[in-house]
A and B are shown apart, each in its own frame.
Chain A
Amino acid sequence: MARESEILDEIKAEYVKDLLKQNKRVDDRGLMDYRAFSIEKGVFPNAEGSAMAHLGDTKVAAGIKFDIVKPYADRPTEGVFTVQAEYLPLAHPTFESGPPRENAIELARLVDRGIRSAECVDTASFFVEEEKVLGMFLDVYVLDHNGNLADCAALAGMSALANAKFPKIEDGAIVRQEFKGPLPLARHVVSATFEKINGVPILDAVSEEDTASDGRITLAISSDGFLCAAQKAKSAGFTSDELLSLFDVAKEKTKPLLDAVQK
């Protein structure tokens, strides 16, 4: 039934809150633990870079394509980088077919900001010739939504980037399936998302925890330890002390993710 899983999550949300009073979570994790994660790189070899990320039961695929595009008028020698996110109808009973809604747009922009601010990719190297630059398209495909899309999407997107190859260009056109070498990356970036439930922040929420929470903060952390994007969502606020201590937690907890991405 269309609403069944949402109603279920709401019922479970009460249970989540009760458990949390004893510092416990539905799946017995510590409050600041990620679920088990894994990354498969190069799963779609037609794309110039690709990856599939699993974070618990949440699954996101990402693919990178390069095209020759016209540069922006104000940056005639710089390449173009675009992130799109799709909430596929097969990922959740409430997702519908159609143009991206606000959640998908927010997700894409969050992944985009992390990668852009971390300056992972040198878009100046994307210049081809006058009026021609490389456009790099990162598509984030949500396949199975079981909580914390933001971190799983960032992980998938970054992994696809780490898997990407720099296309070979001849006479101003891309030679498909031939490459100059790996796409050089200055650094890597992933994110840590915390949900605040009755004032208690937890890392990497599952769906029912997401439903129970009234505050969310996503922090994108680069491999050199900087905060590269942040997004506060939902109604509850965070104090600056809370945010600073979550930054510390995020930095520590994203280490294994950043290590895995670079492998």
Chain B
Amino acid sequence: MEKEKKKLIVDGKRVNGRGFDDLRPLKVTAGVLKRADGSAMIEWGRNKVLAAVYGPREVFPKHLSDVKKAIINCRYSMAPFSGMEEHGRSGPNRRAIEIGKVAKHVFENAVLTHQFPKTQIDISMEVLQSDGGTRVAAITAASVALADAGIPMRDLVQGVSIGRVEGQLIVDLDKYEDNLGEADVPLIVSLRSKEVLLFQQDGRISREELQKMFELGFKGAELVRDVQVQALRQRYFETGDELNNHG
């Protein structure tokens, strides 16, 4: 079966055993780093992404500062050992720089930047292990890191990627499904404003499919949000301290 035709859907199920709209196991831990002002680790399937926030702090270089609001800087990068294939290059590549940019636009919406004029907020997302859907995992973690840093936001944003394999729409693609599938749409949404804040796409998609994808995306986001809230609750209400937890 592996050699001739790789099937992603067999007997109405995904080969990884999940139903079409099932998410992989998801866990978020807030406050995992001592130095950073806010941090979070997300483990989503085999993905492991660490996000941290510094700021609001003085803008450097100064001429970039905005008298009306905080500027947001986002770094997304994959560790050279994060993939299953060959050793990667260190530092952000072109793909990573693009993801940093779209992530920045998400947080320019979510963060109440006008409350912190002439400052910058630096968000770092480091993919330590990757298995498809790392950008939504990274932004979902960064959102928790911002909350952990005590930075006021309009909403705790989150998302999930939606794709199509063998004509079937599925939620939360892993690397294998992403590589062999027909379309991939990472989505980050605000459940509060009902807006889509990150929307990238490749593959051919009909209007009906897109509509269904948005529905699946918002539905998936609700599950993700529960996990984020749980992580913050764990950090501040159940443990009741700010001490770093050495897993």
Contact = CB atoms under 8 A, between A and B. Distances in A.
B87 A88 contact: no
Interface string A126-165: 0000000001010101011110000000000000000000
B91 A93 contact: no
Given A2-B60, A144-B33, A65 B129 contact: no
Nearest to A66: B87
A61 B82 CA distance: 11
A67 B89 CA distance: 12
A46 B130 contact: yes
A135 B82 CA distance: 17
A98 interface: yes
A67 B81 CA distance: 11
Interface stretch (A37-45, A185-193, A196-204, A238-246): A37-45
A61 B60 contact: no
A254 to B, nearest CB: 21
A93 B33 contact: no
Nearest to A86: B90
A212 interface: no
Binding site of B, secondary structure by majority: helix, strand, loop or mixed? loop
A65 B87 contact: yes
Contacts, number: 111
Given A44-B129, A63-B82, A93 B90 contact: no
A46 B127 CA distance: 12
Contact of A2 (B57, B77, B246): B57
B50 A143 contact: yes
Contacts of B128: 43-44, 61, 63, 141
Contacts of B244: 57
Nearest to A59: B33
Nearest to B60: A2
Contacts of B247: 40
A176 to B, nearest CB: 6
Contacts of A47: 81-82, 129
Contacts of B81: 44, 46-47, 50, 63-65, 137, 139
B84 A88 contact: no
A249 interface: no
B50 to A, nearest CB: 6
State which size class the interface on A falls in.
35 or more
A91 B37 CA distance: 10
B39 interface: yes
A177 interface: yes
B129 A46 contact: yes
Contacts of A123: none
B148 to A, nearest CB: 13
B135 interface: no
Given A1-B58, A44-B129, A65 B35 contact: no
Nearest to A62: B81
B39 A90 contact: yes
Contacts of B233: none
A1 B124 contact: no
Given A47-B81, A64-B81, A144 B87 contact: no
A46 B124 contact: no
B48 interface: yes
B34 A46 contact: no
B35 A91 contact: yes
B246 A38 contact: yes
B122 interface: yes
Interface in A194-226: none
A2 B79 contact: no
Interface string A91-131: 11100011100000000000000000000000000000000
Contacts of A91: 33, 35-36
Given A1-B58, A65-B81, A137-B81, 16 more contacts: A3-B58, A44-B79, A45-B46, A46-B129, A47-B129, A63-B128, A65-B80, A65-B87, A67-B87, A88-B126, A89-B54, A90-B124, A91-B35, A97-B92, A144-B34, A146-B34
7 contacts: A1-B57, A61-B79, A90-B50, A90-B52, A93-B35, A139-B79, A143-B126
Which 8 pairs show the lowest CB-CB distances between chains A and B? A63-B81, A90-B52, A65-B87, A90-B124, A47-B81, A57-B34, A44-B129, A137-B87
